[in-house]
Homo-oligomer: A and B are copies of this chain.
Amino acid sequence: MNDFISLNQGSGGKLTHELISKVFVKRFGMNEPLTDSAILKVSGNTLAFTTDSYVVDPLFFPGGNIGKLAICGTINDLAVSGACPMYIAASFIIEEGFPLNDLIIIAESMAEEAMKAGVKIVTGDTKVIEKGKCDKLFITTSGTGILNHGLEHLSKGNHIKPGDKLIINGSLGNHAIAVLGARKKLSFTTPVISDCASLNHLTDSLLRNCNEIRFMRDLTRGGLATVLNELSGMIRSGIAIDEASIPVDDPVRGLCEMLGFDPLYLANEGKMLIVAGAGEASKILDILRSDQLGKQAEIIGEIIHDKKNLVVLHTSVGGKRILDMPSGVQLPRIC
């Protein structure tokens, strides 16, 4: 590892894992693989607990802003663990000279998103930094909530079996491309809107109606490819993915082709991967598709026997390629 931190180490991919593993995990006595939320025992209850810093640039983008993103991100980290998100703490690092009005708009989005999701923002902190010493505004949100009984396996994936189906709730890459578009002031014929949304009502409805959901994870920094690689490593199984079945909206696909991005590696903030028993896959699809946040849901692949724990992508043109963990960063500061 380099002597100095590089942007690539913030990618969410291989280099981020290596950094976290080398610097933090052992010293803090954490257990790998790390999951989105820590699962904790607190006097008879099981709690999920999570934190994320949001440094998205620009602060406002089609479909959201840094505040909405911070609330959705923390809610989703808890929701995919099988927890009921309850309380959020929000800490603000603000650059001197930041427009008060923008801060109010951002706080309003946070309040609105929290209210929709049924979560309370209960505590916070505000620091102000000299002009030029931070980039406008960073928000760190932490959240906690009760883990529903018997769902401890959801973040670990230790109930997953070969033959289980992989399902995603919609098209990939909209968030990253919406942020990039706002950053570079690109204009699209068909506007690209971030998918930024809280998934807790959807996960709740899935968990109440299905018995064979074996894993859930939101597809944020590093995208689907990163989550699939983390999963295959965690459960020591192969994964086969069918490229043709993965929904990607036309403007996102177009821009990816132009700029050389791969939508499978792009960040989302309202998308999740679900692994479930094959027998329940179509029921899950029905539940997802009946919800605004899952209209484009698709079964995209399955868990397979493979001693090398590889993620194999069956491409649209009939070939096969290995979908590796990203090492560097495609787009920095996307969340």
Contact = CB atoms under 8 A, between A and B. Distances in A.
Interface of A: 1-10, 16, 19-20, 23-24, 27-30, 34, 37-38, 40, 42-45, 47, 49-53, 55, 86-87, 89-101, 103-104, 107-108, 110-111, 114, 120-130, 133-135, 138, 140, 142, 144, 146, 332-333
B45 A3 contact: no
A16 B126 contact: yes
Contacts of A138: 93, 134, 138
A291 to B, nearest CB: 26
B28 A114 contact: yes
A50 B53 CA distance: 15
A281 B101 CA distance: 48
Contacts of A34: 123
A49 B144 contact: yes
B125 A51 contact: yes
A121 B87 contact: no
Copies in the assembly, this chain: 2
A202 B24 CA distance: 28
Contacts of A107: 23-24, 27-28
A38 B101 contact: no
Given A121-B28, A135-B133, A146 B110 contact: no
A130 B134 CA distance: 10
A1 B127 contact: no
Given A3-B101, A42-B146, A93 B55 contact: yes
Given A1-B100, A40-B87, A43-B45, 20 more contacts: A5-B97, A5-B100, A6-B128, A7-B96, A9-B126, A10-B127, A24-B126, A27-B110, A28-B120, A37-B123, A38-B87, A42-B47, A42-B86, A49-B87, A49-B144, A51-B124, A55-B129, A93-B138, A128-B332, A134-B134
Of all A-B residue pairs in the complex, the 3 with the closest CB atoms, nearest first, are: A10-B128, A142-B142, A51-B89
B89 A50 contact: yes
B332 A130 contact: yes
